[in-house]
């Protein structure tokens, strides 16, 4: 579940592609470099943890990175790690909200979400309605988590939802390439259709593993969310077909 969250940034760049200069050249270059850097950093961190400290002491704490820093460098390094963690949390949160707001804006612009979320600020050229909506949702979830301490439930639910999204994206890509092979391709990925089919299967297996090892609340929330999403998608499709 945690591994999925480590790579969420790759999905977010697609929502910002319209605002990037020469995105057809830069994004295919940036993503492999990002994967390589993350792999090296995670590998070195894991090697250090399991080679120099007692990893069992990190299993039952919500802040293992700070505990690890204290074990390696004492209280001073622990405080530094805490400050870095707060800074990176703020940066990551803002990046997530900013990129997701573009996705909400694009869906509203295309008629898949209420039109109110497609409103733009004439002064700053930003989707202010989508930004306000996401900040309100994020604040509400944060308050709810603080009151209930259901952090693991939300983590598992979020991972399951992302597994569903990634598998659907891979299947949609496969379907588009098979149905419309003549369409222009701004990006070309090594492996093509076999790779996309394999990715879809992989995330379906991850989803099954998450549901099999999770509490019944995760499965109930996930299936409820899927039912609502599919119902809304069907409603939007019927409305577009009626207009056409």
Backbone phi, then psi, for 181, in 5-degree steps? -65, -15
pTM above 0.85, yes or no: no
Q: Can you tell me whether residue 215 is helix, strand or coil?
A: coil
Q: Distance between CA 66 and CA 34 in Å, rounded?
A: 24
Residue 217's contacts (CB-CB under 8 Å, 6 or more residues apart) are 153
Rg of the chain in Å (alpha carbons): 21
Query: DSSP secondary structure string, 5-36?
Result: HHTTHHHHGGGGGGGSTTHHHHHHHHHHHHHH
Centre a 10 Å sphere on the Cβ of residue 160 and count the other Cβ atoms it contains: 26
**Which DSSP category does 189 fall into?**
-
Question: Could you read off the pLDDT tens digit of each residue along the chain, which spans 244 residues?
Answer: 666 666 666 666 665 666 667 777 777 777 778 778 878 888 887 777 777 677 677 777 778 888 888 887 888 988 999 999 899 888 878 877 887 888 888 888 888 788 888 888 888 888 889 999 988 988 888 888 888 877 777 777 777 878 888 888 888 888 888 888 777 776 666 777 788 888 888 888 888 887 777 767 777 777 787 778 777 777 777 777 777 6
């Amino acid at each position: 579940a945690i591994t999925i969250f480590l790579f969420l940034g790759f999905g977010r760049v697609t929502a910002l592609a319209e605002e990037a200069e020469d995105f057809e050249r830069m994004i295919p270059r940036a993503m492999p470099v990002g994967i390589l850097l993350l792999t090296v950093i995670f590998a070195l961190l894991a090697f250090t943890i399991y080679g120099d400290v007692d990893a069992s002491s990190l299993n039952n704490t919500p802040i293992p990175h700070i505990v690890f820093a204290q074990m390696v460098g004492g209280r001073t390094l622990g405080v530094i790690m805490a400050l870095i963690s707060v800074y990176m949390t703020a940066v990551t949160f803002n990046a997530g909200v900013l990129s997701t707001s573009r996705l909400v804006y694009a869906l509203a612009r295309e008629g898949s979400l209420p039109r109110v979320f497609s409103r733009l600020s004439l002064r700053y050229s930003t989707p202010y309605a989508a930004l306000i909506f996401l900040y309100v949702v994020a604040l509400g979830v944060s308050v709810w988590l603080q009151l209930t301490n259901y952090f693991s439930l939300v983590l598992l639910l979020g991972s399951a939802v992302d597994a569903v999204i990634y598998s659907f994206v891979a299947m949609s890509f496969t379907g588009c390439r098979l149905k419309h092979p003549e369409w222009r391709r701004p990006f070309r990925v090594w492996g093509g259709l076999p790779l996309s089919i394999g990715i879809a299967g992989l995330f379906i297996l991850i989803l099954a593993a998450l549901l099999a090892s999770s509490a019944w609340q995760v499965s109930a929330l996930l299936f409820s969310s899927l039912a609502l999403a599919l119902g809304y998608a069907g409603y939007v499709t019927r409305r577009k077909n009626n207009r056409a």
